[in-house]
Amino acid sequence: MSLEQPEATAAEEPHPEIAGLLEQMGAAPAPSFSSLSPTGARQLMKHMFPDPDEPEPVGDVMDLHLGDEGVPVRVYVPEGQGPYPTVVYVHGGGWVLGDVDTHDETCRAITNATDAMVVSVDYRLSPEHTFPTPLEDCYTALEWVFDDAQTMQVDTDNVAVAGDSAGGNLAAALALMARDRGGPDIDRQVLIYPVTDHSFDTESYEENGAGYLLSKEDMEWFWDHYLESDVDGKNPYASPLQAKNLEGLPPATVLTCGFDPLRDEGAAYAHRLEEAGVSVNHINYDDAIHGIAQFLVEPMDLTRSRELIDDVAADLTATFE
């Protein structure tokens, strides 16, 4: 959808740390995701976000498998005694890339900043598993949090869903699906530069479609792998912005970045939620790029990345009080 008056804009130039990072990437350019096979793109993402020498410590970490399909999750337990407020976290990567390892440091940071348990979902990836399979894997994890609440020491009065990029898309769809199915009661949805629409005609796509880490060509490639057909792109569980009714959804934190092709569709979703009577905190980092939720490991430990974690934690902590 085209936005006549974008609700989020870009600064005159990226934050100095981000500008330096983009300059380094330009000096040693890597192939685009869209030029590779899914396997090659997954290897590239692993290379882009290496494991830290010493991961940020948390109380405990458990790797589990859920349901008949054995959906893998990684559970981060904070210090202290339960029951714990809990965040179901869905990683980004265009539904094709990423896993619990690529977002390990992000989940550790959220765990410590919120004193909440984080359940990171290693959903099945596309194109091997197309829409809606990845979403159903995430829903399995969400239901498990409530079904095994006593065993896992979950405070079921304080459960949120969160995700970045395609994970933000899946988190938004989880909130819709839980409402429509009369499922688990979600207290907040945290959507970090989310994909919300199977469309590429926004001003932010025109402004930021190349040169800022995530390109328009990459997004077209991701969508082509995620969907069986363009008809699926009209399904609100794939494109939440196309949902006819957004009433009755949990309060939302929507984070967008000025130099991100997804900026305008994230802002549009925040606006539509507000119109539907949903409480929304929309934060736009006008000098930042897509992907900053993962830039937490040296030498890419960015100021804006830490601010994003702090903003997410502030809203989650306020929700859980």
- Sorted by where each starts, the structural domains of the chain and their CATH numbers stand as 16-320 (3.40.50.1820)
Contacts of 186 (CB under 8 A, 6+ apart): 142, 159, 160, 161, 174, 175, 178, 250
- pLDDT tens digits for range 99-122: 999 999 999 999 999 999 999 999
Task: Tell me the two tokens of residue 190.
Answer: 């945290």
- pLDDT tens digits for range 223-234: 999 999 999 999
Write down the pLDDT at residue 290.
98
Q: Which residue among the candidates 120, 126, 165, 305 is catalytic per the annotation?
A: 165
Task: Tell me the two tokens of residue 97.
Answer: 């890339």
d(CA 196, CA 265): 6
- The share of the chain scoring above pLDDT 70, in percent, equals 98
CA 224, 137, 98, 208 dihedral sign is: positive
With b meaning 16 or more CB within 10 Å and e meaning fewer, what string describes 169-196? Answer: bbbbbbbbbbbeeeebebbbbbbbbbbb
Please report the DSSP string for 182-202 in residue order: T----SEEEEES----S---S
Mean pLDDT of 124-131: 98
Mean pLDDT of 238-259: 98
Q: Is 287 a catalytic residue?
A: no
Write down the pLDDT at residue 4.
44
Write down the pLDDT at residue 213.
92
Write down the pLDDT at residue 6.
53
Question: Is residue 63 pLDDT above 50, yes or no?
Answer: yes
Question: Is residue 29 pLDDT above 80, yes or no?
Answer: no
3-state secondary structure of 103: coil
Write down the pLDDT at residue 5.
44
Q: Which residue among the candidates 198, 225, 282, 290 is catalytic per the annotation?
A: 290
d(CA 48, CA 30): 10
Residue whose entry in the numeric block shows the structure tokens 């970090």: 192
- The share of the chain scoring above pLDDT 90, in percent, equals 90
Question: Is residue 28 pLDDT above 80, yes or no?
Answer: no
Question: Is residue 3 pLDDT above 70, yes or no?
Answer: no
Count CB atoms within 10 A of the CB of residue 4. 5
pTM of the model: 0.96
- pLDDT tens digits for range 198-210: 999 999 999 999 9
Residues recorded for the chain: 321
CA 172, 227, 292, 22 dihedral sign is: negative
Q: Is 165 a catalytic residue?
A: yes
Write down the pLDDT at residue 2.
37
Question: Is residue 299 pLDDT above 90, yes or no?
Answer: no
Mean pLDDT of 285-305: 94
Q: Which residue among the candidates 260, 287, 311, 315 is catalytic per the annotation?
A: 260
β-strand pairing of 71-77 with 188-192: unpaired
Question: Is residue 61 pLDDT above 80, yes or no?
Answer: yes
Q: Is 315 a catalytic residue?
A: no
CB 197 within 8 A of CB 237: no
Task: Tell me the two tokens of residue 100.
Answer: 């619990």
CB 52 within 8 A of CB 105: yes
Task: Tell me the two tokens of residue 56.
Answer: 């940020």
Average pLDDT taken over every residue of the chain: 95
